[in-house]
Structure 1
Amino acid sequence: MDSRYQEVYARWRAEPEAFWREASGEVAWIKPPRTIFDPASGVYGTWFPDGTCNTCFNALDRHVEAGRGDQVALIYDSPLTGQVRRFTYTEMQEEVAVLGAVLEDLGIGAGDRVVIYMPMVPEAVFAMLACARIGAVHSVVFGGFAAHELAKRIDDATPRAVLTASCGIEPGRIVQYKPLLDAAIDLAAAKPDTVLLLQREQSPADMNASRDHDWVEAVAKARTAGRRAPCVERRASDPLYILYTSGTTGVPKGVVRDNGGHLVALHWTMRNIYGIAPGEVFWAASDIGWAVGHSYITYAPLFYGATALLYEGKPVGTPDPGAFWRVIAEHKVVSLFTAPTALRAIKKEDPSGAHLKHHDISSLRSLFLAGERADPDTVQWAEQMLKVPVIDHWWQTETGWPIAANPIGLGILPVKHGSPTVPMPGYDVLVVDDAHQPVGPDVMGSIIIRLPLPPGNLPTLWGHDDRMRTSYLKDFPGFYSTSDAGFRDEDGYLYIMGRTDDIINVAGHRLSTGGMEEVVASHPAVAECAVVGVKDSLKGEVPCGFVVLKAGVNRPHEEIEREVLGLVREKIGPVAAFKIAIVVPRLPKTRSGKILRRTIKSIVDDGQWSIPATIDDPAILDEIAGLVRPRVSGS
Structure 2
Amino acid sequence: MGYNHEYQLALANTEAYWADQADRISWFKKPTKTLTKTDFGTYSWYADGELNSAYLALDYHVENGRGEQVALYYDSPAAGKKEAITYNQLLDRVARFAGALKAQGIEKGDTVLIYMPMIPEAAVAMLACARLGAIHSVVFGGFAPAEMAIRIDDANPKMILTASCGIEFDKTIAYKPLVDKAIDLAEHKPEHTIVFQRAMVKAEMNRDGDLDWIEVQEGVDPAPCTPVKGSDPLYILYTSGTTGQPKGIVRDNGGHAVALSYALNNVYGMHPGDVWWGASDIGWVVGHSFIVYGPLMGGCSAIFFEGKPIKTPDAGTFWRVIEEYKVNSMFCAPTAFRAIRKEDPEGALSHKYDLNSLKWVLVAGEKLDSSTYHWLSDLLKVPVIDHWWQTETGWPMTAPMMGWDNPSEARLGSTNKPIPGYDIRVLDGDGNEVEDGEAGNICVKLPMPPGVAWSIWNNNDRYVSSYLEAFPGYYHTGDGGFKDDDGYIYITGRTDDVINVSGHRLSTGEMEEVVSAHPAVAECAVIGVNDELKGQLPVGLIVLKAGEQIEEEQLQTELVKMVREQVGALACFRSAIVVQRLPKTRSGKILRAILRKIAAKEQYKMPSTIDDASILPEIEALIEARGAI
TM-score (norm 2): 0.98
Match of residue 312 from structure 1:
306
Rounded to whole Å, the distance in 2 between the matches of 1:632 and 1:16 is 55
Match of residue 612 from structure 1:
607
Conservation of the 8 A alpha-carbon contact between 2:131 and 2:226: yes
- Tell me whether 1:495 sits opposite 2:490 in the alignment: yes
1:262-341 equivalent positions in 2, closer than 5 A: 262-341=256-335
Deviations 1:42-90 (A, max 9, x none): 5312111211111100000011111111111111000011111011111
Conservation of the 8 A alpha-carbon contact between 1:69 and 1:89: yes
Rounded to whole Å, the distance in 2 between the matches of 1:478 and 1:126 is 39
- Would the alpha carbon gap of residues 389 and 93 (structure 1) be closer, same or farther in structure 2, given more than 3 Å must change? same
Rounded to whole Å, the distance in 2 between the matches of 1:573 and 1:609 is 32
Comparing 613-622 with 35-44, greater Cα deviation is found at: 35-44
Conservation of the 8 A alpha-carbon contact between 1:565 and 1:579: yes
Rounded to whole Å, the distance in 2 between the matches of 1:108 and 1:374 is 43
- Tell me whether 1:526 sits opposite 2:521 in the alignment: yes
Deviations 1:367-405 (A, max 9, x none): 000111111111111100000000000000000000101
Match of residue 50 from structure 1:
48
1:584-603 equivalent positions in 2, closer than 5 A: 584-603=579-598
- Tell me whether 1:236 sits opposite 2:230 in the alignment: yes
Rounded to whole Å, the distance in 2 between the matches of 1:370 and 1:204 is 37
Rounded to whole Å, the distance in 2 between the matches of 1:138 and 1:632 is 48
SS at match of 1:632: coil
Deviations 1:295-352 (A, max 9, x none): 0001001111111111001011111110000000000000010001001101111111
What fraction of aligned residue pairs are identical, expressed as a percent? Answer: 53
Match of residue 536 from structure 1:
531
Deviations 1:11-36 (A, max 9, x none): 11122111111110111111101111
- Tell me whether 1:104 sits opposite 2:102 in the alignment: yes
CA displacement at 1:39 relative to structure 2 = 2.7
Comparing 167-176 with 110-119, greater Cα deviation is found at: 167-176
- Tell me whether 1:344 sits opposite 2:338 in the alignment: yes
- State which of 419, 427, 433 in structure 2 corresponds to 1:424: 419
- Tell me whether 1:117 sits opposite 2:112 in the alignment: no
1:125-136 equivalent positions in 2, closer than 5 A: 125-136=123-134
CA displacement at 1:255 relative to structure 2 = 0.3
Match of residue 569 from structure 2:
574
SS at match of 1:260: helix
Match of residue 383 from structure 1:
377
1:554-565 equivalent positions in 2, closer than 5 A: 554-565=549-560
CA displacement at 1:412 relative to structure 2 = 2.1
Rounded to whole Å, the distance in 1 between the matches of 2:596 and 2:390 is 23
Match of residue 441 from structure 1:
436
Match of residue 81 from structure 1:
79
CA displacement at 1:256 relative to structure 2 = 0.3
TM-score (norm 1): 0.97
Comparing 381-390 with 610-619, greater Cα deviation is found at: 610-619
Conservation of the 8 A alpha-carbon contact between 1:526 and 1:550: yes
Over 6 Å off, 4+ runs: none
- State which of 440, 447, 465 in structure 2 corresponds to 1:452: 447
SS at match of 1:628: helix
Conservation of the 8 A alpha-carbon contact between 1:167 and 1:177: yes
Rounded to whole Å, the distance in 2 between the matches of 1:607 and 1:424 is 39
SS at match of 1:262: helix
Conservation of the 8 A alpha-carbon contact between 1:247 and 1:614: no
SS at match of 2:475: strand
Match of residue 216 from structure 1:
214
Rounded to whole Å, the distance in 2 between the matches of 1:547 and 1:102 is 51
CA displacement at 1:570 relative to structure 2 = 0.9
Conservation of the 8 A alpha-carbon contact between 1:135 and 1:232: yes
- Would the alpha carbon gap of residues 248 and 92 (structure 1) be closer, same or farther in structure 2, given more than 3 Å must change? farther
Rounded to whole Å, the distance in 2 between the matches of 1:560 and 1:79 is 37
Rounded to whole Å, the distance in 2 between the matches of 1:435 and 1:562 is 40
- Tell me whether 1:255 sits opposite 2:253 in the alignment: no
- Would the alpha carbon gap of residues 555 and 87 (structure 1) be closer, same or farther in structure 2, given more than 3 Å must change? same
Match of residue 205 from structure 2:
207
Match of residue 406 from structure 1:
400
SS at match of 1:592: coil
Rounded to whole Å, the distance in 1 between the matches of 2:296 and 2:446 is 29
Match of residue 166 from structure 1:
164
Rounded to whole Å, the distance in 2 between the matches of 1:12 and 1:523 is 42
Comparing 547-556 with 406-415, greater Cα deviation is found at: 406-415
CA displacement at 1:562 relative to structure 2 = 1.4
Deviations 1:189-219 (A, max 9, x none): 1110000001111111111341100001112
Deviations 1:211-230 (A, max 9, x none): 100001112x04xx4x1101
CA displacement at 1:609 relative to structure 2 = 3.3
1:13-32 equivalent positions in 2, closer than 5 A: 13-32=11-30
SS at match of 1:408: coil
Query: What CA RMSD, in Å, does the superposition of the two structures yield over aligned residues?
Result: 1.2
- Tell me whether 1:546 sits opposite 2:541 in the alignment: yes
Amino acid at match of 1:260: G
Rounded to whole Å, the distance in 2 between the matches of 1:462 and 1:351 is 45
Conservation of the 8 A alpha-carbon contact between 1:441 and 1:488: yes
Rounded to whole Å, the distance in 1 between the matches of 2:563 and 2:162 is 48
Comparing 621-630 with 255-264, greater Cα deviation is found at: 621-630
Amino acid at match of 1:29: W
SS at match of 1:237: coil
Match of residue 38 from structure 1:
36
CA displacement at 1:610 relative to structure 2 = 2.8
Rounded to whole Å, the distance in 2 between the matches of 1:341 and 1:258 is 30
Deviations 1:125-150 (A, max 9, x none): 00000000000000000001001000
Comparing 243-252 with 233-242, greater Cα deviation is found at: 243-252
Amino acid at match of 1:148: A
Aligned pair count?
A: 628
Amino acid at match of 1:540: G
Match of residue 7 from structure 1:
5
1:168-183 equivalent positions in 2, closer than 5 A: 168-183=166-181
Match of residue 506 from structure 1:
501
Rounded to whole Å, the distance in 2 between the matches of 1:391 and 1:188 is 43
Deviations 1:249-276 (A, max 9, x none): 5431000000000000000111100011
Conservation of the 8 A alpha-carbon contact between 2:310 and 2:339: yes
Amino acid at match of 2:377: E
Conservation of the 8 A alpha-carbon contact between 1:43 and 1:465: no
What runs of 5+ residues in structure 1 fail to find an aligned partner?
none
Conservation of the 8 A alpha-carbon contact between 1:255 and 1:458: yes
